[in-house]
Structure 1
Amino acid sequence: MTDTPNTDHATSTPDIGALLDQLTLEEQVSLLAGADFWRTVAIPRLNVPQLKVSDGPAGVRGGGPLVGGTKTAAYPVGIALGSTWNVALLHEVGASLAREALDKGAGVLLAPTINVLRSALNGRNFENYAEDPVLTGRLATAYVRGLQENGVAATPKHFAGNESEYQRGTISSDIPARAMRELYLRPFEMVVKDADPWAIMTAYNRLDGMYCSDHPWLLGTVLRKEWGFTGLVMSDWGGTHSAGESARAGLDLEMPGPTKARTGLLQEAQNDPVTAAAVRERARAVLTLIGRTGTFTNPRDVRDSAEQDTERPETRALIRRAAAEGMVLLKNTGLLPLKPGRTVAVIGPNAGSAQVMGGGSAQMNAHRAVSPLDGLRESPDAGTLTTATGCDNGKFLPVPQVTVSAEYRDHPGGEVVGRDTRPQAEVMWFQTPEGVSTANFHATLTLSVQAPHTGRYDFSLASAGLSRLLVDGQPVVDNWDAWAPGDTYFGFGSGEVRGHRELSAGTHELRAEYTPNSFENGIAGFNAVRIGFRPAPDDGSVAQAAALAAQADYAVVCVGTNGDWETEGVDRWGLDLPGRQDELVRAVLNANPNTVVVLQTGGPVSMPWLGSAPAVLQAWFPGQEAGHAIADVLYGRAEPGGRLSQTFPASLEDDPTHPLNPDVQYPGEDGRVEYREGLFTGYRHVDRAGTTPLFAFGHGLSFTTFEVSNPQLAAAAAAPGQDARLSVQVKNTGARPGSTVVQLYVHDRESRLERPEKELKAFAKVHLNAGEIATVEFTLGMRDLAYYDDAEHAWVAEAGDFDLLIGQSSADLPLTLRLTLTDNWTEATS
């Protein structure tokens, strides 16, 4: 078997049925697991090429490791795109990502992530779009269409019930039927029916006790039979748990490869006609995906060495525009936009450090990473800038960004059998040099660091494997003899182990030793180590930063988190900003009343200083052009176009997953997590519980003002199966161009089953010049009026009156229309 398909000549797309007939059973089985971490199996004798997949959704990493690798464009993360509420923009982003994927030889992008945000503490909060299924579904549909119209398969994920990272590989998400249908399956249903995705990825977790990758009801009954899905179903990496059972249930492709869970599939298929028939259908799905991506016609060079790192000006411009459009102006008492040419003190741990992406499989080697400080410096409106860090917000020590030399041996003290270099002091071995076993090697990493002054310095190691660190030949950190599982590397790594040493000013040599351990992590060959280094913190830095801020016309304090805090594999830490950041914000606000707080987080945080802050901008992780987009908004060159796609609770106690039972409801216990809140998450929980959020779902300010008025229904009543059409006028009543989001919620005035007080059913992003008026039109169908009746296994819209609530956030709905449904409507499910 060759590593890459034969690309000497293009072949036409074959008849899939005829091709299946030519495949032996062994060859059919071989197609049902990856050849390696990113590629499917090729069958050269029948000109079946390999198909390469790549991680998304906020960029296309290619086939390299999570750090380093081929440079690529980094787009705003999911919650930033979700906060744009802009369907057309998501289509544009999808189309742009298709071109990036083709640069990397990939025909499949593992994106978008469309799990509904259930809790403020989800570790992959930043990757998802929204707490609302309709907002998520519409944005995802546009993204998928943009990708696939340009020849690259989308892979909506994680199907289904993956709303937290705690024990995600084994935990059972026990979800009530109504919540499952109305919240957690709804975005997937919308995407499947409206965008026809060519692939879907299953979740790691169990659903009501059964692994999603083995779930015949989820994959067969609902996805394929009820919704009409025609694409390929793949597992998440290491998320296949059986051979024949998963094939019969509807899982087409085990990833990564070589196969682990399906090693006995051939024997099962040889002895069981039902399994053999399932294998044929699963192989059909793999071949169909190869055909849909045009790979039969144009086999791509799928080698990692062939990846292109082309950087395009139009892509940079799109990322910058999308980043600004997703930024949410949470508060502004008139301070913003800043006046040009003034002195600005740029303060905070995120000021000079560009936080452009979250962690885990979403990270990549971005073409650039523009910090807020650099963005403000390069703005044409900039005056004199000063800067201070003030405090630290790192979960781990920083990774030295220096060249690392690696030597490989079969065992400690043995002969060198391979060498390579890495661009930084975090190394992931998805591949090793030729002749070096990924399962059994000893690596020695050597690098030099600079100590700017004499004093104490901190060092650290975290590793998915055994590691130890020497500084100038002296042992400083031992993560070898006492290695223990921790929260790094998707739960496959250790915790961070620290040590310290007094250093003289100058250059010092660090040497780390690493070897895989015997920990069975579910993904063969996953090896990684992270080296950390920094000077010991200065206790007086907050006061020094505040003193600097006092001397400037404006202060911009940049606080938040980074991809170590917001990452796959571990849930968020809480709602308080890590470290001394709240103290820093208060100190700067006291020193300078003209202070803008710029938040960069992947989800809600508490803001104990909010009452004193004249302006707060939620900037998320907005991609590689982060600093430029932040400067554009601060100086008013771009509109802060975002509206919150997730409620910001006033406290963790107001989060819907915490009040009832903090163990079994979140994060889970005894191998299960119970969704006891049912339908009442996000703004639905706010309405039911009567809490006052810090900021409501849909909230966001503009640099101008808008008036929504004159709502009209085309007809006051609708018969079952008939659409309802309505319109509303929007006027920009301010002095400059801007945008708003008109939001339409439905309230059922009387229902046999309990329903949320209101549910988002339609929205429209509107851009208007000063004084301009536009008419926005909406269409509501029967599903927009319906709830799911789990006893009847049907969607039901009951005859009676519905209030249509219209405004600019879930807490600002001044307009109401009354719609009457003349008779009951139902739609049966499986």
Structure 2
Amino acid sequence: MSDAPTARPPLSPDDRLALLEGQDFWHTRPVAGLGAVSMTDGPHGVRRQEGRQTGFNFSALVPATCFPTASALAASWDTELLREVGAALGREARGQGVQVLLGPGVNLKRSPLCGRNFEYFSEDPLLAGTLAAAYITGLQGEGVGASLKHFAANNQEYRRLSSDSVVDERALRELYLRPFEIAVKDAQPWTVMAAYNGVNGRYCSEHPRLLTRILREEWGFGGAVISDWGAVNDRARGLRAGLDLEMPGYDGARVPELRAALAAGRITGADVERSATRLTELARRAAQTPRTPPVDPDAQHALARRAAAAGVVLLQNVGDVLPLPPGAKVAVLGTFAEKPRYQGAGSSVIQPTRLDTPLGELRALLGEASVAYAPGYPRQGEEDAARLRAEALAATQGADVVVIVAGLPENMEAEGVDRDHLDLPETQDALIRAVAAAHPRVVVAVQSGAPVRLPWRGEVAGLVQAYLGGQAGGGALADVLTGRVNPGGKLAESFPDTLEDVACSAFYPGGPRTAEYRESLYVGYRYHDTAGVAVAFPFGHGLSYTTFGYGTPRLDRERVGRGERLTVTLPVTNTGTRAGAEVVQLYVHAPQGPLFRPEQELRAFARVVLEPGETREVSLTLDERAWAVYDVARPGWHVPGGPYELRLGSSSRDLRARATVEVEGDGDLRPEPAAVSAAYRRPPHPFHAPDAAFRALYGAPLPDNSPYTPAEYDLNTPLGALRGTAQGRVLNALVTLGTEPRGEKRYSADAVSAAGAIREMPLRQLYLGTGGKLRPRAIAALAEAMAGRWGGALRALATPATEPPLTGGRKD
């Protein structure tokens, strides 16, 4: 049998143009002889919907394994586990006929307030990129493509569909692009998803520097670039920049526009051919993996439980209150123990195949008679809080240990909306304080996708961060609390004491038009460790039921020349009585130089599992990027020479061993401006960057960030900003009419996310929001009407369908 490819008829010019837009909400257009590519949301489950394919339909989801969210998986620091989860998702996707899973997300956790942080890995780019590469490798090893997202600098939900991220070049390169670079170079995802927002004056979906010069020419990406759903501002401009596929698509609506752009010279035949070829290749790869029988749900659930347990972080354990002793009487409090928060809210919502609860699993492991229960607080709102608290206190009588399961409800943490503060609901804080005052052995387990403030942590004995553990998270938490699993999770993000401990807090989320990243490199521990800020729990922290000793590190060379690698080896010993896992973290402290740098940065890590008394040699390798900075004056990566200190430990604040290596530099760096040096070399607390310092760092005038005025309303104006006119207020009322669920439904995951999305939706997204029924010309006319430009509205309606309808956009 011949392996030669089957000859296919050539595509017509209009066929090529049609290929650049999706066929519907979840499929590409079929390519001759290959068929359409089926996509669906991830990243922690296969979120395939049945029925109509013209929009999101949360009521028609096919049951699938709900794995832990990215924030929980990241706490494992376990690349092999991420590979395994990726492979399991790939097998399940194949069984459902899905060929591209939309994930993983590697956007950095710039602020703990970002409503979508549950879907991202870390505040550190090395950790985020390394885990993402492992996940992609596992997924694509099963013949299912990944879609690495959201490229790039998409770090908030407020105005995420229209905001311009204003980021200095060093922070962009060293932090925000770095996890994408690692994942692309190490795992070559089939697709990369361009984000909604802009970066430094251009929308990501039409950013030639991001999509072509950096992604393809510098990093060697060979796949297809697709838009986030509804992210396209100007399709011709995006195609020219390197955006191959617009998603979703509606009846070839973009073909006339692109045909006119081709005739007008806004795009070329080569632009069209280039993207059509990439999409044909995507279809060819997808066609090579046939649909397979459904996966074994029990095996998937077992892996989900193991993965969730690996991401549970033991934050404190005073008096060895954990693990729960055999035969102990346990009072379990908190409605989240019975109705857990186990996944995020928004486009990643999964209909699980089954659902474990902490209460049910603790009773299964400890015995029904050993576990008392009381809800303790309302799941939403404050009704009956005092009565529930009193009943909970009564339930603790005679208990040896009290376990309180707390967390963030869906209406406080969702895609589409950022959090307003770091606090848990007041009813939960009140319960914890009341019980802690009455009982000496209280353990609090927190279910949340991101850090929360823990003002009572000194009043309780045990504290566990359970994250959002997926459908098996309840069993995983029970495994850790009872000691069936020795916790080995480490925080992939810092837990601040207060919001002002976060460097970006004074200017997050920004708006109304831009998000200024004034903190530059000072994200998470990079700020805390440089400014000496005390935190509740530092980056990398996590306790175990055993202990570990670190020996003296050995270097394979004392001086590192250009292009050489350095290997650091040190012995690690389990000095306790239980088998357990330790994550050895290597931070690099750079010498003082002409450019400001954080106090230390994670440059390598390794997870090691040890039996009691066992010692193993752990080796970590550093390449040239461990020392490099991005030099704006000589665009590229350059190494300042000098002595670098290597710091090894169990967290960024628990450093156990040090060594020094002399690194050969590659030339002098131009000193930064004095204003930059004054503001950033010794960052203050709370952090503040004066206008002059940030302008000097940014290297250009700062973009306009004034409020929207009616005269400026255009297709990129968010609905929430249109309330400056009577017609804008009417439009807001019409769009939200019928979308405000009543009663308990208003707190559901999809309702909370949808409400936030409507508020932030720019007018151009009505194309997606109406399932393509409201065409671009009509939306353009609506934008003119919102601004009171009635003549412009009539002209937009009369514009031929072959002309682009847009009335706004960023610079070309």
Provide TM-score, normalisation by structure 2: 0.79
Give, in whole Å, the separation in 2 of the partners of 1:826 and 1:721: 17
What secondary structure does 1:126 align onto? helix
Structure 1 letter corresponding to 2:23: A
Task: Give 2:96's aligned residue.
Answer: 104
Residue 180 of structure 1 aligns to a residue whose secondary structure is helix
Residue 563, structure 1, aligned to residue 410, structure 2: yes
My pick for the range that moved more, 698-707 or 63-72, is 63-72
C-alpha contact 1:341 1:383 (8 A) present in aligned 2: no
The alignment status of 1:763 with 2:751, answered yes or no, reads: no
Q: Deviations over 1:227-254 (max 9, x none)?
A: 1110011111111111211111111111
Q: 1:278 corresponds to which residue?
A: 271
User: For each residue in 1:560-605, what CA deviation from the matched residue of structure 2 results, as whole angstroms up to 9, or x when unmatched?
Assistant: 1133322111112311102411001111212322211010011111
**1:403 counterpart residue number:** none
Per the alignment, residue 480 of structure 2 pairs with 633
- Counterpart for residue 511 of structure 1: none
Whether 1:42 aligns to 2:30 is yes
Q: 1:298 to 1:78 in 2, by over 3 A?
A: closer
The aligned counterpart of 1:804 is 646
Runs in 1 of length 4+ with deviation above 6 angstroms?
10-13
Report the alpha carbon displacement of residue 714 of structure 1 after superposing the two structures with TM: 0.9
1:168 to 160, 166, 176: 160
Deviation at 1:271, TM superposition (A): 4.4
CA RMSD of aligned residues (A): 2.1
Cα distance in 2 for partners of 1:380, 1:625 equals 18
For residue 709 of structure 1, the aligned residue among 532, 551, 557 is: 551
Supply the distance in 1 between the matched residues of 2:307 and 2:217 (Cα, whole angstroms): 37
Q: Are the aligned partners of 1:543 and 1:587 in contact in 2 as well (CA < 8 Å)? A: no
- How far the C-alpha of 1:269 sits from its partner, in A, is 2.3
Deviation at 1:382, TM superposition (A): 6.2
**Aligned counterpart, 2:260:** 267
Q: Give the corresponding residue for 2:177.
A: 185
Q: CA deviation at 1:390?
A: 1.4
Q: Structure 2: where are the runs of 5+ without partners?
A: 51-56, 670-812
Give the whole-Å Cα distance in 2 for the aligned partners of 1:166 and 1:13: 51
Pair 1:292-2:278 in alignment: no
Q: CA deviation at 1:180?
A: 0.2
Distance change >3 Å, CA 92–CA 298, structure 1 → 2: closer
Tell me how far 1:810 sits from its aligned partner.
0.1
Asked if structure 1 preserves the Cα contact closer than 8 Å seen for 2:144 and 2:289, the reply is: no
Distance 2:280 2:289 in 1: 14
2:157 & 2:631 partners in 1: Cα distance? 30
2:316 maps to 1:331: yes
Determine if contact 2:341/2:407 at 8 Å carries over to the other structure. Answer: no
Aligned-pair CA distance for 1:211: 0.7
AA partner of residue 236 (structure 1): D
**Counterpart of 1:234?**
226
CA distance, structure 2, for counterparts of residue 14 and residue 211 of structure 1: 38
Instruction: Quote the residue 1:601 is aligned against.
Output: 448
> Structure 2 residue aligned with 1:379, among 362, 365, 370?
365
Report the secondary structure of 1:155's partner residue. Answer: strand
Query: Are 2:46 and 1:54 aligned?
Result: no
Aligned residues of 2:261 and 2:267 also touching (Cα < 8 A): no
Rate the CA distance shift 1:169–1:94 in 2: closer, same or farther, 3 A.
same
1:590-739 to 2 correspondences below 5 Å:
590-658=437-505, 662=506, 665-739=507-581
Q: Would the alpha carbon gap of residues 60 and 820 (structure 1) be closer, same or farther in structure 2, given more than 3 Å must change?
A: same
Mapped pair 1:154 → 2:146: yes
Answer with 21-30 or 375-384: which moved more: 375-384
Once residues 564 and 13 of structure 1 are traced to their aligned partners in structure 2, the CA distance between those partners, rounded to angstroms, is: 55
Q: From 424, 427, 432, give the equivalent of 1:585.
A: 432
Q: 1:312 aligns with which of 297, 305, 318?
A: 297
**Contact 1:344 1:383 (8 Å CA) reproduced:** no
Q: Summarize deviations over 1:620-658 as a string: whole Å, max 9, x none.
A: 010111111111000000011210000001101111112
Give 1 or 2: higher helix fraction. 2
For the structure 1 residues 598 and 68, does the alpha-carbon distance in structure 2 shift closer, same or farther, using more than 3 Å as the test?
farther
Q: Any conservation in 1 of the 2:149–2:192 contact (CA below 8 Å)? A: yes
Counterpart residue number, 1:129: 121
After superposition, the Cα gap between the structure-2 partners of 1:245 and 1:212, relative to the gap in structure 1 and judged at 3 Å, is same
SS at the partner of 1:379?
Answer: helix
**In 2, distance between residues paired with 1:350 and 1:161?**
33
What's the CA shift string for 1:60-95, capped at 9, x where partnerless? Answer: 111343344210000010010111000111111111
Q: Name the count of aligned residue pairs.
A: 661
CA distance in structure 1 between the partners assigned to 2:354 and 2:2 by the alignment: 38
User: Does the CA-based 8 Å contact 1:67-1:363 persist in structure 2?
Assistant: no
Cross-structure match for 2:759:
none
For residues 67 and 580 of structure 2, the distance between their equivalents in structure 1, rounded to whole angstroms, comes to 23
Secondary structure at 2:35's aligned position in 1?
A: coil
> In the TM superposition, what are the counterparts of 1:402-551 in structure 2 within 5 Å?
537=384, 539-551=386-398
Offset of residue 262 of structure 1: 6.2
Aligned AA (1:185): L
Given that 1:745 and 1:758 are in contact with CA atoms closer than 8 Å, whether structure 2 keeps it comes out as yes
Deviations 1:323-353 (A, max 9, x none): 1110000000110000123222111121111
Q: Which amino acid aligns with 2:373?
A: T
**1:25 aligned partner:** 13
Paired AA for residue 24 in structure 1: S
Instruction: Kindly state the Cα deviation for residue 381 of structure 1 after the two structures are TM-superposed.
Output: 6.1
Q: Is the 8 A contact 1:720 1:782 kept in 2?
A: yes
Which residue is equivalent to 2:214? 222
- Which amino acid in the other structure matches residue 62 of structure 1? R
**Helix, strand or coil at the partner of 2:321:** coil
2:357 corresponds to 1:341: no
- Rounded Cα–Cα distance in structure 2 between residues aligned with 1:273 and 1:241: 15
Structure 1 unaligned regions, length at least 5: 1-9, 302-307, 398-535
Match for residue 794 of structure 2? none
- The whole-number CA distance in structure 2 between the counterparts of 1:383 and 1:644 is 35
- Where does 1:105-120 land on structure 2 (aligned, <5 Å)? 105-120=97-112
Change (3 A) 1:145 1:359: same
Report the equivalent of 2:375: 389
Q: Deviations over 1:228-287 (max 9, x none)?
A: 110011111111111211111111111112156665112322443843221111111111
Describe the shift of the 1:813–1:382 C-alpha distance in structure 2 as closer, same or farther (beyond 3 A). farther
Asked whether the 8 Å contact 2:205–2:238 carries over to 1, the reply is: yes
Looking at structure 1, the residues matched to 535 and 256 of structure 2 have their Cα atoms a distance apart, in angstroms, of 51
- For 2:394 and 2:2, the matched residues in 1 are separated by 69
Distance across 2 between alignment mates of 1:263 and 1:562: 46
Distance change >3 Å, CA 606–CA 273, structure 1 → 2: closer
- State the shift of 1:197 in Å: 0.9
**Distance (Å, rounded) in 2 between the aligned partners of 1:629 and 1:11:** 50
Cα gap change, 1:204 to 1:11, in 2 (>3 Å):
farther
Provide, for residues 658-695 of structure 1, a one-character-per-residue CA deviation record: whole Å limited to 9, x for no partner: 2xxx3xx2111230010000001100110222210000
Whole-angstrom CA distance in 2 between matches of 1:623 and 1:274: 45
1:553 lines up with 2:400 in the alignment: yes
User: Does structure 1 conserve the Cα–Cα contact (< 8 Å) formed by 2:96 and 2:291?
Assistant: no
Give 1:463's aligned residue. none
The answer for the alignment partner of 1:513 in structure 2 is: none
Q: Give secondary structure in 2 for the equivalent of 1:156.
A: strand
Deviation for aligned residue 1:28:
0.7
- Could you say if the C-alpha distance between residues 382 and 263 of structure 1 is closer, same or farther in structure 2, counting changes exceeding 3 Å? farther
The answer (yes or no) to whether the contact 1:355–1:626 under 8 Å persists in 2 is no
How far apart, CA to CA, are the structure 1 residues paired with 2:226 and 2:558?
Answer: 46
SS at match of 1:170: coil
